[in-house]
Amino acid sequence: MKQTVIPEEKVIEEVRRAIWEGLDIDPARVKAESSLVGELGAESLDFLDINYRLEQTFGIKTARHSVLEHMEEMFGEESAIDADGKLTEGAVKVLRLRFNNSSQLKPGMDMEELPGAVTVQSIADGIISILDSLPENCTNCGKQDWKIEKESRIQCGSCGEPAAFTNGDELIDEWLTQVQQSEKIF
């Protein structure tokens, strides 16, 4: 369900902030379509830093494992990445569905080039999908009274319980299961 407690513009603003603060760069450089690696100079540790900031900001748990790792777990070893570390056709099909048909993704591409496809918008999309797992009612008191606390945390206005979002890994698994049912990729 699309949550409306935190407006999407606010989510994107917080994602941009996590990126410019994490990378210590001029906020004006961080645009929705900016590539984190190619344009903003992010390295692997920076992704974790940005991730950490976003988890703290929204009180969520982002995915610990990549979509590719989930594919391998679900559809078997080398279903997503072959022995040489290259993307399989199946992996590319799945990734294109997930990242708006990004033309950068091609079978045979080295998995190490993948972070190059991450943009500010794709990070924001991941955060939005977690926030959209907001349950209708509070899991503690059952009331439907979500409020924003500290600008970006959703909590129950009635009992004060923080919202229980589905974590990023569970959402990827749910999504992959749906994709497999409709597209029969593997």
Partner 1 sequence: MEKTAFTDKVALVTGSSRGIGRAIALALARAGADVAVNHSKEGGTSQAKADEVCREIESFGRKAFPVQADIASKESVKAMFEAASNRYGRLDFLILNAARAPFKPLEKLREKEIRQLVDTNYIGNIFCIQAAVPMLESSGGKIVFVSSLGSRFYNPSYPLGSMKAAMESVVRDCAESLLPKGIWVNAVCGGIVKTDSFKVLRLYMEEIEHIPDNLCVTPEEIAETVVFLCGPGARAIRGQTIVVDNGLSNRLYRPAWIKGQDSK
Nearer to partner 1, 69 or 148 (CB): 69
Q: Min. distance of Cβ 107 from partner 1 in angstroms? A: 18
Nearer to partner 1, 14 or 46 (CB): 46
Nearer to partner 1, 13 or 55 (CB): 55
Contact in structure between 90 and 80 (CB atoms under 8 Å)? yes
Q: Min. distance of Cβ 101 from partner 1 in angstroms? A: 27
Contact in structure between 117 and 87 (CB atoms under 8 Å)? no
**Stretch of 13-21, 37-45, 93-101, 126-134 lying at the interface with partner 1 (CB under 8 A):** 37-45
Binding mask 41-70 vs partner 1 (x if CB under 8 A, - otherwise)? xxx-xx-xx-xx-----------x------
Q: Min. distance of Cβ 141 from partner 1 in angstroms? A: 22
Q: Looking at 106-163, list the stretches that DSSP marks H as alpha helix, in order from N- to C-terminal side.
A: 120-131
Distance CA 131, CA 122 (A): 14
Exposure b/e, 37-68, CB count within 10 A at least 16 = b = beebebeeebbebbbebbbebbbbebbeebbb
Among 7, 27, 85, 160, interactor with partner 1 by CB under 8 A: 85
Residue 180, amino acid: Q
Contact in structure between 154 and 163 (CB atoms under 8 Å)? yes
Q: Min. distance of Cβ 163 from partner 1 in angstroms? A: 19
Residue corresponding to tokens 């210590």: 24
**Stretch of 78-86, 87-95, 128-136, 144-152 lying at the interface with partner 1 (CB under 8 A):** 78-86
Q: Min. distance of Cβ 164 from partner 1 in angstroms? A: 16
Exposure b/e, 129-161, CB count within 10 A at least 16 = b = ebbebbeeebeeeeeeebeeeeebbbbbebeee
Nearer to partner 1, 32 or 48 (CB): 48
Helices 8-23 and 44-58 meet at what angle, rounded to 10?
140
Q: Name the site residues for partner 1 (rule: CB under 8 A).
A: 23-24, 37, 41-43, 45-46, 48-49, 51-52, 64, 81, 83-85
